[in-house]
A and B are shown apart, each in its own frame.
Chain A
Amino acid sequence: MVMEEGRPGPSKPAGDRRPQKRQKKDKQHDKQQPCEGFSIKAMMKNSVVRGPPPAGSVKERPAKHTAFRKFYERGDFPIAVQHECGGNKIAWKVQIEELDYHYFLPLFFDGLCETEFPYEFFARQGVHDLLEHGGNRILPVVPQLIIPIKNALNLRNRQVLCTTLKVIQHLVVSAEMVGVALVPYYRQILPVLNIFKHMNVNLGDGIEYGQQKRENIGVLIQETLELFERYGGENAYINIKYMIPTYWSCM
Chain B
Amino acid sequence: MVTQEGPDPPTCVEEKPSLGESSMSSKEALNTEDLKMPKDSEVTTEADIKPKSVRRAKTWSDVVENLYRFQQAGYRDEVEYKQVKQVEQVDFWPETGFVKKLQRRDNTFYYYNRQRECEDKDVRKVKIYVY
Partner-B contacts on A (CB < 8 A): 80, 84-86, 89-96, 129, 132-133
Partner-A contacts on B (CB < 8 A): 72, 100-101, 104, 106-111, 113-114, 119, 122, 125
From A80, A84, A96, B111 is in contact (CB under 8 Å) with: A96
**Across the A-B interface, the 5 shortest Cβ-Cβ residue pairs:** A91-B108, A92-B109, A129-B111, A93-B108, A86-B122
A129 vs B114: C-alpha distance when bound (angstroms): 11
Chain A residue numbers with a CB within 8 Å of B109 are: 91-96
A-B contact pairs, 8 of them (CB 8 A): A80-B108, A91-B104, A91-B106, A91-B108, A91-B109, A91-B110, A93-B108, A133-B101
Task: Establish whether residues A84 and B108, one from each chain, have CB atoms under 8 Å apart when the complex forms.
Answer: no
Chain A residue numbers with a CB within 8 Å of B72 are: 84, 86, 89
A230 vs B119: C-alpha distance when bound (angstroms): 30
Task: Establish whether residues A133 and B119, one from each chain, have CB atoms under 8 Å apart when the complex forms.
Answer: no
A129 vs B113: C-alpha distance when bound (angstroms): 8
A78 to chain B, nearest CB (A): 9
Total contacts A to B, CB within 8 angstroms? Answer: 33
A85 vs B108: C-alpha distance when bound (angstroms): 18
Chain A residue numbers with a CB within 8 Å of B106 are: 91
Task: Establish whether residues B108 and A132, one from each chain, have CB atoms under 8 Å apart when the complex forms.
Answer: no
A134 to chain B, nearest CB (A): 11
B81 to chain A, nearest CB (A): 16
Chain B residue numbers with a CB within 8 Å of A90 are: 111
A123 to chain B, nearest CB (A): 16
Task: Establish whether residues B110 and A132, one from each chain, have CB atoms under 8 Å apart when the complex forms.
Answer: no
B119 to chain A, nearest CB (A): 7
Chain B residue numbers with a CB within 8 Å of A95 are: 101, 109
B96 to chain A, nearest CB (A): 13
Task: Establish whether residues A132 and B122, one from each chain, have CB atoms under 8 Å apart when the complex forms.
Answer: no
| Minimal Cβ-Cβ distance residue in A for B103 | A95
Task: Establish whether residues B111 and A133, one from each chain, have CB atoms under 8 Å apart when the complex forms.
Answer: yes
Chain A residue numbers with a CB within 8 Å of B125 are: 85
| Minimal Cβ-Cβ distance residue in A for B122 | A86
Task: Establish whether residues A92 and B119, one from each chain, have CB atoms under 8 Å apart when the complex forms.
Answer: no
A137 to chain B, nearest CB (A): 15
Chain B residue numbers with a CB within 8 Å of A96 are: 109, 111
| Minimal Cβ-Cβ distance residue in B for A93 | B108
| Minimal Cβ-Cβ distance residue in A for B110 | A91
Chain B residue numbers with a CB within 8 Å of A84 are: 72
A80 vs B104: C-alpha distance when bound (angstroms): 13
